[in-house]
A and B are shown apart, each in its own frame.
Chain A
């Protein structure tokens, strides 16, 4: 099964950019990188996904290295409400198979 490696926890000051790294060295050529976050006791929330190119949406930016073995999720101006567990996953997008393999994720604590 697909495996990713993320730091267990990170702190970030409110208003600063939060950069969350992820190692996915076993990613296959057709697999996308997905990021989700989970705020305590809620279901995971989709943030962003990408294949090769960097991506940006209203929530975050995703930077994928050229060899695709790692990526960084960037929250440009972290707020207290961004405190959550962030999961990086790689998954084939073909057919939208729903088998997401979650690791332990990174607990991001945004501090005032």
Chain B
């Protein structure tokens, strides 16, 4: 069974630009969550989607948004990038049958 796939693995963007990150969950998993990891703040929850609906949201500004498609694939978008958005962005998926969450390897975003 393929794991959670995140693309791209690495990304370099300039301040003020926007970026879209992609996450393909494990086949059959309908819940997809996004996390930001930085050295200073650790792992922080961004949002969760289930059946194309946002089910939970963390404390991030409106520049951070996401969506989920009918095939459960998810994207997150960050607009007007700031230097502080440099981080490892992780996606996790889950199913009703498995109580844990499977994480992808993440997208390393560097804003210059």
Q: Which residues of A pack against B, CB within 8 Å?
A: 32, 34, 36, 41-46, 49, 87, 93, 96-105
Query: Which among A42, A96, A97, A104 has the greatest number of chain B C-beta atoms within 10 A?
Result: A96
Query: A105 to B35, alpha carbons, bound, how many Å?
Result: 16
Query: A44 to B33, alpha carbons, bound, how many Å?
Result: 13
The number of residue pairs between A and B whose CB atoms lie closer than 8 Å in the complex comes to 64
- B residues contacting the other copy or chain, number (CB 8 A): 28
Any chain A CB within 8 A of the CB of B48?
yes
The answer to whether A96 touches B92 (Cβ under 8 A) is: no
Any chain A CB within 8 A of the CB of B64?
no
Query: A93 to B101, alpha carbons, bound, how many Å?
Result: 11
The answer to whether A42 touches B99 (Cβ under 8 A) is: no
Give the residues in chain B near A100, CB-CB below 8 Å: 33, 35, 43, 45, 92, 101
The answer to whether B102 touches A46 (Cβ under 8 A) is: yes
Any chain A CB within 8 A of the CB of B28?
no
Q: Contacts A41-B88, A43-B90, A104-B42 known; A98 to B56 CB distance under 8 Å?
A: yes
The answer to whether B99 touches A43 (Cβ under 8 A) is: no
Judged by DSSP, the binding face of B is strand
- Per CB-CB distance, the 3 closest pairs between chain A and chain B, nearest first, are A43-B103, A98-B33, A46-B100
Judged by DSSP, the binding face of A is loop
Give the residues in chain B near A46, CB-CB below 8 Å: 100-102
Closest to A104 in B: B42
B residues 1-58 with Cβ under 8 Å of A?
4, 31-33, 35, 42-45, 48, 50, 55-56, 58
Q: When the two chains form the complex, which single residue of A41, A42, A97, A102 contacts B42, counting CB atoms closer than 8 Å? A: A102
Give the residues in chain B near A104, CB-CB below 8 Å: 42
Give the residues in chain B near A98, CB-CB below 8 Å: 31-33, 45, 48, 50, 55-56, 92, 94, 101
Query: A95 to B70, alpha carbons, bound, how many Å?
Result: 19
* Cβ contacts A to B, 7 pairs, < 8 Å: A41-B88, A43-B104, A44-B92, A46-B101, A97-B56, A100-B101, A102-B42
The answer to whether A34 touches B92 (Cβ under 8 A) is: no
